[in-house]
């Protein structure tokens, strides 16, 4: 049982659940109107982390041999770095410029390699995120450069 709990997938799901729960406590103590979207997002975050944790505990991943584990590289650190760079760049470049390469990289890592679906998915998802925040949720996000360069 302890070996199952020490598996990286279980530890990651547990860390996401703890982080989401901690952030949810902070979000539920804030003002009602300003914290509606973060409360919804953090609730979804916690439910997904709990589902992943339960799924990993019920059906643990098969053990890999050490030679296979050394050769297999996870794209997760690359994606995490790209999300961090896009989040920081959004403050000065607006939403669309950092999000479009991030969405393209994410689709590429999910093995969508044909040019038309990759470009179409990037434009629809990246533009759709801006449309969702700007017009549906009424959270005004800048579309393009906001640092005074243009």
Q: Give the residue from 37, 42, 40 showing the smallest Cα distance to 23.
A: 42
- Quickly state the pLDDT bin for 150 (edges 50, 70, 90): very low
- Angle formed by the axes of helices 76-93 and 96-109, nearest 10°: 170
pLDDT at 123: 93
Q: Tokens 């598996």, residue?
A: 7
pLDDT at 65: 62
Query: Which secondary structure element, helix H or strand E, spans residue 132, and what is its range?
Result: none
pLDDT at 114: 93
Q: Are 27 and 38 in contact (CB under 8 A)?
A: yes
Q: Which of residues 23 and 107 earns the better pLDDT score?
A: 107
Q: Tokens 């539920």, residue?
A: 28
pLDDT at 36: 74
List pLDDT tens digits, range 107-132: 998 888 999 999 999 999 988 888 88
User: Which percentage of the chain shows pLDDT scores above 90?
Assistant: 13
- Give the C-alpha separation, 150 to 146, whole Å: 8
């Amino acid at each position: 049982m302890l070996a199952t709990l020490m598996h990286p997938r279980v530890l990651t799901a547990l860390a996401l659940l703890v982080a989401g729960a901690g952030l949810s406590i902070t979000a539920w103590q804030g003002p009602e109107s300003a914290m509606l979207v973060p409360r919804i997002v953090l609730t979804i975050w916690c439910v997904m982390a709990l589902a992943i944790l339960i799924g990993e505990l019920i059906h643990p991943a098969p053990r890999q041999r050490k030679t296979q584990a050394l050769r297999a590289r996870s794209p997760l650190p690359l994606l995490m770095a790209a999300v961090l760079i896009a989040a920081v760049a959004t403050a000065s470049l607006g939403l669309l410029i950092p999000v479009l390469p991030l969405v393209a990289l994410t689709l590429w890592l999910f093995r969508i390699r044909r040019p038309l679906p990759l470009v179409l998915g990037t434009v629809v998802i990246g533009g759709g995120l801006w449309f969702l925040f700007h017009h549906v949720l009424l959270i005004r996000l800048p579309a393009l450069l906001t640092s005074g360069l243009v």
